[in-house]
């Protein structure tokens, strides 16, 4: 089930990238851009939200002493002998927002959704100031830790539900079988704890 056209409600997310790992942060940002956090997600539809990232100049890598020097970004100008390259440290000094932007864009498929819809909704700023105060919530959203093995942490998707604005007003969100089992398990545990407290 999906909400076509104007029935789809989008929301804005504010993420602080200070001291965040580039790759793990890019996973969260790309998921929000595509709308994979919504139960109405479809891979061939534009279901994502707008993401504003601040303090992009303060990101880090898993091995900062090594990757800032060894990681190289390459591109071609289109002219003969036009192969250019820069290290991650040089890229951060010249364009602080491009390190995170390239990481996020590398996780998105190169199709019309990426260039026409997803890429324009990614707003990255090197500092803490941004011009989107009216659209954003008052608090910065915490970045959830990405588990290394999703098979062992299958409750990860159940604990991070879609934003309330993702659902159409007046219509309850669809609940899957796994979510129902998870809710029943939590209720059983809470009732058991209440019974132990009463004794």
| Count of other CB atoms within 10 angstroms of residue 107 | 14
Cβ–Cβ under 8 Å, residues 15 and 90: no
165 pLDDT band, cuts 50/70/90, is very low
Q: How far, in whole angstroms, is CA 180 from its chain's centroid?
A: 25
Q: How confident is the model over 97-122, as pLDDT tens digits?
A: 999 999 999 999 888 888 888 889 99
Mean pLDDT of 5-16: 80
Any idea which of 20-29, 46-55, 164-173, 190-199 has the lowest mean pLDDT?
164-173
Give the CA distances from residue 145 to residues 21, 51, 160, in Å, rounded to whole numbers and listed in that order: 10, 18, 11
Q: How confident is the model over 48-106, as pLDDT tens digits?
A: 899 999 999 999 998 888 999 999 999 999 999 999 999 999 999 999 999 999 999 99
Q: What pLDDT is stored for residue 150 in this prediction?
A: 47
Q: What are the backbone dihedrals phi and psi of residue 147, each rounded to the nearest 5 degrees, phi first?
A: -70, 145
Ordered by start, the domain boundaries in the chain are 5-62+88-198
What is the homologous superfamily of the domain 5-62+88-198 according to CATH? Ribosomal protein L13 (3.90.1180.10)
Helical axes 22-34 vs 98-105, angle rounded to 10°: 60
């Amino acid at each position: 089930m999906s909400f076509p056209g104007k029935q789809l409600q989008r929301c804005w997310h504010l993420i602080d990238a200070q001291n965040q790992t580039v790759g793990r942060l890019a996973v969260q940002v790309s998921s929000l851009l595509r709308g994979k956090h919504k139960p109405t997600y479809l891979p061939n539809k534009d279901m994502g939200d707008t993401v504003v990232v601040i303090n992009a100049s303060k990101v880090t890598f898993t091995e900062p002493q090594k990757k800032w020097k060894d990681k190289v970004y390459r591109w071609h100008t289109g002219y003969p002998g036009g192969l250019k390259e820069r290290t991650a440290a040089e890229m951060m000094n010249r364009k602080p927002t491009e390190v995170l932007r390239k990481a996020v864009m590398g996780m998105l498929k190169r199709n019309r959704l990426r260039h026409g819809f997803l890429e324009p909704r990614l707003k990255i700023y090197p500092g803490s100031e941004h011009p989107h105060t009216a659209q954003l919530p008052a608090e910065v959203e915490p970045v959830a830790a990405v588990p290394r093995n999703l098979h062992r942490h299958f409750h990860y998707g159940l604990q991070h539900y879609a934003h309330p604005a993702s659902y159409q007003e007046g219509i309850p969100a669809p609940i899957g079988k796994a979510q129902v089992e998870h809710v029943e398990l939590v209720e059983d545990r809470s009732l058991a704890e209440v019974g132990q407290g009463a004794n």
